[in-house]
Amino acid sequence: MSEMNEWVKWIDEAIAKKHIKHYEYKYFKHIQEIGTGGFGKVYRAKWKNSYQYFALKSLLNIEEDAIKELVHEIELQREVTFHNNVISFHGVTISDQENQSNNIKKYLLVMEYADGGSLSKYLKENFEKLTWEVKLNLAYQLASAVSCLHDEDIIHRDLHSNNVLVNQNTIKLADFGLSKRIEASTKKKKDLFGIVPYMDPKKFSNRSYSLNKKSDVYSVGVLLWEISNGKPPFYVEGESYDCSLAFQIVQGHRETTVPDTPIEYVKLYTECWDDNPDNRPSIQEVVERLDGIINQKTENIDEKTDQSFTNKNIVLNSIEESSHGELSQVIQEFNKMNTKEIMGTMTSTSNQIISQNILPENDLSVIVNNITEFILEVLNNKRNNDKLRQKVIDYFNNQNINPQEIYNWLFNNQNYNSNSIFLLGFFNLYGIETSENKMMAFDLFINASEQDHTLAQYFVGFCYYCGRGTSQNYPLAFKYYEKVANKDCAIGQLYTGSCYSNGHGINKEPKLAIYWYEKAANNGNVLGMSNLGYCYKIGEGVEKDIDKAIYWYKKSAEQGYERAQKYLEELMKTK
């Protein structure tokens, strides 16, 4: 009991010295059990009156070894929580339901909540719509997370598809309860057997064999196969894994290759699950080879397709291609700019002198309002190719603003007005001073949109259109775009025209597409101008008129839209 008290004292001191954030248990709401494992139970809970959900991870029993494992979990999580593909550790809470038998506090870890559940569940529910581009990205993210652990000399030892989580289509490695530092292994070792198909066969044939980094690589190889198949290895409904399967695996039995799997991918996971650990690649080599497979795959993708796949840390939902050649390119370019490359220039209203010191609430609310106006003008005008996220960050840097201070104010004052609600959603959507949380962003946009906030309504439409934080729903996307369009807002007019042009969420009506493109163009939107040029060029929704096509392409190009310049040059050659 004395050693156990030392572990408890360690936790309490870490909280007191603010090395670990403490969350008051009474402020968690709607606590719901979502899982049970060997370590303990996991709950989903809402924090205070915000839209922030956390996962609360508890111990199944309050014993010395359990408390010790809790401390190990905290230490390890703090060392790797910076990685985008490792579940984030936020702090600790203490349940108000104490264990009466020994009067020991009931600690729970406060963790990032993964809305997609386990990788096994995610694959079961989404596999039919996953492209190979998405599968390769999942594999890359998984290997990158394990590589992060190995760089910190941490071995997971129990990798399988139920403790690999998915949040907003992004891999999140979890459950470090069985992990140990290589140089700090305890004297009291346990022979942990794990889940048979993912376990290093050496452990089956030699109980004294110490699991190591190459054992993790074996598990990664099995998981790579599972990503290619959509089901757990050797899965038979209604049956559990047993010793006979372990014996077969020791004898060299492995799962069969899934048809149409890239040959280099097959070679990689086959090498990972080799019987001889010395023949297995390092996890860093796995990462590098997956990167090579992804790049090779990308080179074979036509330039007209969505290139968001090349971002290996975030798997973006693909946007359905238009059936119109050049106009499809324009619309796809627009969709990509909305997620990563939204263009903008600094407005005079946002160029106010702001101190780097902590600002009073009134000043902070003014800054929030100015940023919101800036974002709206950027979206409406689209004057250059700078990324919107980066422009906001540059704004902070140029004005000596501490973005963390802004985020903290937004988080604590999200009900201050509709601008603060919207901007908190924006920060969560783009991962500014917080991890990307598209589900929370969507909830905040919905809240602000109910207060008739124009930008929030646009972003609700965007989330429905692209499936960010919610299921893709073209009719609802059109509904919100039209609301924004009817406010004489160029970004809503452009997207409403796009929906009419492609028949997304509404019947295809080329003449109505022209109507809204003209409104967007007359409001200064460069993509509306370019789209009009294309429509006049081919006579879609309007009588064919090359001179008008040249006029609108030229006007768009003069405003800085490079694609319009390219289309203009091509059109002039054929005139």
Distance CA 518, CA 529 (A): 7
Q: Which alpha helices (DSSP H) does 431-509 contain, by range? A: 438-449, 454-466, 474-485, 490-502
Beta-carbon neighbour count of residue 437 at 10 Å? Answer: 24
Q: Do residues 223 and 142 make contact, with C-beta atoms less than 8 angstroms apart?
A: yes
487 alpha carbon, distance to own chain's centre: 31
Of 531, 133, 78, the closest CA to residue 329 belongs to 531
Q: How far apart are CA 268 and CA 563, in angstroms?
A: 40
Per the rule left: phi > 0, alpha: psi between -120 and 50, beta: everything else, 230 is left
Task: Yes or no: say if 438 and 316 are a contact pair by the CB < 8 Å rule.
Answer: no
Residue from 480, 462, 371 nearest 424 by CA: 371
Q: Is 29 annotated as a binding residue?
A: no
Residues in the chain: 575
4 touches 64 (CB < 8 A): yes
Q: What is the DSSP string of 159-215?
A: --TTSEEEETTEEEE---TT-EEGGG--SS-------GGGS-HHHHH-TTPPP-HHH
Q: For residue 84, which of 199, 12, 167, 176 has the smallest C-alpha distance?
A: 167
Give the CA distances from residue 571 to residues 240, 501, 540, 557, in Å, rounded to whole numbers and listed in that order: 65, 22, 16, 13
Do the Cβ atoms of 287 and 147 come closer than 8 Å?
A: yes
Alpha-carbon span 211 to 203, nearest angstrom: 7
Q: Which residue has the tokens 């906030």?
A: 453
Residue 287's closest CA among 172, 181, 152, 151? 151
Q: Write out the binding residues.
A: 57
Q: Write out the binding residues for ATP.
A: 57
